[in-house]
Chain A
């Protein structure tokens, strides 16, 4: 137990250090982006709206409390002080609106859509992977391997655009205008079936894209893991004991073959935000990736930092959970006392 506690404390401290280092790195990196928010604002007003420089710069002076010439170290000090207090500041472009409010308005949609997509993809992927292993070299194995490889190689944003163009525009099967967004206009968020059903209607396309573009990987990894497990001595012994195929598949092979995929699943869940940026843009889905894209374009430093911090924490936390959980799922690791 003492070993476990020491291990857990060490891992937590390491995670905190990682978050700090990444937060510091992102603080300086976002400020190295070409053009600060004031410049981007002035240039956007001029190039997109034909506003004269005098008007645009006058508006910028009235709008931004941000001073790009403030020493970087002072900005960094303010950022760290805020971080310690759990205050990520306010959006530069929407004064008075806290970054946390903005992030939490968008984050749940991404967690929901990408999280659900990953879970479905995982469940289907491991099932199909097992089938491929059991019937390896059959037509099913070849067909699924081909499909899995193809799907894995298509970037999710490209598939999203293809779906919109072919099924929405060319074939007119999907009502793409209706399906945009996280829920329909005029709908009040609540816990009713009507609302949940509407949410699923809108999340359907993004989730389908996430499933299609990740399922191939799970299938192929699960197949190879199952093939390896099938060659284990305990499977041969189970067969020798006369256990049924079904029992061997579920209790012996499946459970052990899926173990290497569990930490991978946890890490994938941590990366949900990164994978959603362009898909959310294509479907105009109100997720954190959509917000990140817009914040980068407009150099809204505090929002950008806030999102990147949330992403970092998600990845680090997922790794931590995977580390701590793995010992629980695999008795062999626990028995060695080295979790």
Chain B
């Protein structure tokens, strides 16, 4: 017979009392003795990056997966190496796993030769089989690199040959910059992929879909590392994780740090840690006020170029008055781009100089001096703006502009409400244009809806990104406003984006933007690519399909003298590396140039 439990008032109150007393006792407790020490006695480096913890977070770190523990950030390059990383100033690759690489235009092949003598953290040698395996696995994940090749083969222990189906110099970046994973972990999946595609099937077949689904559920226990660090799996919690030295990895002898602590979190979560000097380096987008606070605490702000920025996008379907390029040129003259940049990002928002459709830093590399001289700088001039608009038959009535049809020019400038920089940009642009005489107002839209609206054309004017921070080739920068947020890609989302006709006429003659932009990234002839880039850049500068406002530079806090001795001077070539593409801090570590304090 069971004893009857009676819940009396006395018992209930006793429970609460006991709880409070227990709490008081436990509150006196402290950090575990087992806990990893956070002192810098062991040459630690403290970074920050948002990640998920298991069971969501996992070690299937291949590009294209989601919720990888470090796979989507710069620090994966210290654990699983790519064949090479790009030096943006020198415009050349620095070999890591790869010793050499070459394009054979005649044979339409791209060959990568891996270094010999490298080892994985499980002791196995790094060979060409690892790279071939990796690429077959990328194919399961529909990686875009396979749009350029038809096959990948190992011709000896260290040599990998790609057969190009769509020859382009753009493929070089895919071949050299993508991580190479261990065959010991991924070999069986590569074999399955080869069997699937060898049988003439694709990923849309039932077998292909199953392979894709099964592959995504793969959850390795650890990451087999080829770099100087490996993940200490026991160190992971949702606050931080630790990378420890992988003594057999590439450059392990050069890297001056023994341990990397990565604090988990987005910008607001990481800000107090940076202020408290717990973080040595962070790539997050800190707002100007926060950056000012960092500076006041003696934290150096590193300003690497991001090769992209914010532009004013016009929905021509809703604002037909701006279809005439003169109206857009007037906008460019009316806006003080330096003010927009300063308000949005402080010193990290530099006004666009060349208005060529891709980064100012890359313009001299792709355009001849003569072509650069043809680019209009659109320096702020209200007078020029007024002249251009007046020439269109627009006039000012009272303090406001009316179009040739007598209707007032009014519009909203939409922006991502949650993005501190784009919010400031949108508001400032609206204010400046209102002061100029347009009936303009800013409108914050939640970030997830904003992108949908941009595709579907549910806006009048909007702030969105221009440029490309991942690929050095300007083809990708041009594609962003003219393909992605215009009808060629927006059609996938059921809209027409900015609805800018890609067949236009400039003072030099007609241009088909689609054809010219594709040509800028196609083929193996760099001279021909440069000619196409120049053609698009000059047309872009004259027609201004979008109005670039500022180019973003990172505002990466770099704490010197605590755990890191110092970063190189701002004018060091490596500081021109794009932090989200070929991170300079990672490269400095691999080169042994970043020293512990």
Interface residue ranges, A against B (CB under 8 Å): 33-35, 39-41, 43, 46-47, 49-55, 57-59, 61-63, 65, 91, 93-97, 101-102, 105, 116, 119-120, 122-124, 164-165, 168-169, 172, 176-178, 180-188, 194-198, 200-201, 204, 207, 255, 258-259, 262, 281-282, 284-286, 290, 294, 299, 325, 328-329
User: Which of the four size classes fits the interface of chain B?
Assistant: 35 or more
Question: Which residues of A have CB within 8 Å of B239?
Answer: 180-182, 185, 284
B56 touches A284 (CB 8 A): no
Q: Report which of A97, A169, A286 forms a contact with B237, defined as CB distance below 8 A.
A: A286
Bound together, the chains give a CA A222 to CA B595 distance in angstroms of: 61
| Chain B residue with Cβ nearest A208 | B27
Question: Which residues of A have CB within 8 Å of B27?
Answer: 200, 204
Considering only residues 268-295 of chain B, those with a C-beta below 8 Å from chain A are 268-269, 272-273, 275-276, 278
Bound together, the chains give a CA A186 to CA B244 distance in angstroms of: 13
Q: Tell me the minimal C-beta distance from A155 to chain B in angstroms.
A: 15
Question: Which residues of A have CB within 8 Å of B597?
Answer: none
- Interface assignment of B236: CB less than 8 Å from any CB of chain A: yes
| Chain A residue with Cβ nearest B57 | A94
Question: Which residues of A have CB within 8 Å of B484?
Answer: 46, 52-53
| Chain A residue with Cβ nearest B238 | A286
Question: Which residues of A have CB within 8 Å of B242?
Answer: 185-186
Q: Tell me the minimal C-beta distance from A226 to chain B in angstroms.
A: 14
B66 touches A63 (CB 8 A): yes
Considering only residues 218-270 of chain B, those with a C-beta below 8 Å from chain A are 219, 232, 234-242, 263-265, 268-269
B452 touches A39 (CB 8 A): yes
Bound together, the chains give a CA A51 to CA B470 distance in angstroms of: 6
Which of A33, A123, A282 has the most C-beta atoms of chain B within 10 angstroms of its own C-beta? A123
Given the known interface contacts A35-B451, A177-B273, the answer about A53 and B19 at a Cβ–Cβ threshold of 8 Å is no
Our count of residue pairs bridging A and B at CB distance below 8 angstroms stands at 231
20 A-B pairs besides A50-B308, A195-B32 with CB distance below 8 A are A34-B448, A43-B451, A52-B479, A53-B479, A53-B480, A61-B142, A63-B216, A91-B56, A94-B57, A94-B67, A105-B54, A105-B55, A116-B19, A120-B23, A123-B19, A177-B263, A201-B30, A201-B32, A259-B9, A325-B7
Question: Which residues of A have CB within 8 Å of B468?
Answer: 50, 52
Question: Which residues of B have CB within 8 Å of A198?
Answer: 29-32, 34-35
Q: Tell me the minimal C-beta distance from B409 to chain A in angstroms.
A: 29
Question: Which residues of A have CB within 8 Å of B217?
Answer: 95-96
Q: Tell me the minimal C-beta distance from B306 to chain A in angstroms.
A: 8
Given the known interface contacts A34-B452, A50-B470, A55-B144, the answer about A181 and B238 at a Cβ–Cβ threshold of 8 Å is yes
Q: Report which of B64, B306, B493 forms a contact with A59, defined as CB distance below 8 A.
A: B64
Bound together, the chains give a CA A55 to CA B63 distance in angstroms of: 10
- Interface assignment of B322: CB less than 8 Å from any CB of chain A: no
Bound together, the chains give a CA A143 to CA B447 distance in angstroms of: 45
B492 touches A57 (CB 8 A): yes
Q: Report which of B265, B308, B448 forms a contact with A299, defined as CB distance below 8 A.
A: B448
B29 touches A200 (CB 8 A): yes
A102 touches B237 (CB 8 A): no
A184 touches B7 (CB 8 A): no
- Interface assignment of B505: CB less than 8 Å from any CB of chain A: no
Bound together, the chains give a CA A68 to CA B413 distance in angstroms of: 29
| Chain B residue with Cβ nearest A62 | B142
Question: Which residues of B have CB within 8 Å of A91?
Answer: 56
Interface residue ranges, B against A (CB under 8 Å): 7-9, 12-13, 16-17, 19-20, 23, 26-27, 29-36, 38, 52-58, 63-67, 72, 140-144, 147, 203, 209, 212-213, 216-217, 219, 232, 234-242, 263-265, 268-269, 272-273, 275-276, 278, 306-308, 446-449, 451-452, 465, 468-471, 476, 479-480, 483-484, 489, 492-493, 578, 580-581
B144 touches A95 (CB 8 A): no
A95 touches B213 (CB 8 A): yes
Question: Which residues of A have CB within 8 Å of B52?
Answer: 94, 294
Q: Tell me the minimal C-beta distance from B524 to chain A in angstroms.
A: 20
A-B contact pairs, 9 of them (CB 8 A): A34-B448, A94-B66, A123-B17, A124-B20, A165-B272, A187-B34, A194-B32, A200-B27, A290-B238
| Chain B residue with Cβ nearest A105 | B55
Bound together, the chains give a CA A284 to CA B141 distance in angstroms of: 32
Bound together, the chains give a CA A338 to CA B54 distance in angstroms of: 49
A184 touches B32 (CB 8 A): yes
Bound together, the chains give a CA A197 to CA B447 distance in angstroms of: 41
Question: Which residues of A have CB within 8 Å of B141?
Answer: 59, 62-63
Q: Please provide the 8 A-B residue pairs with the shortest distance between their CB atoms, ordered closest to farther.
A: A181-B239, A96-B217, A197-B29, A184-B35, A35-B448, A50-B469, A34-B449, A198-B32
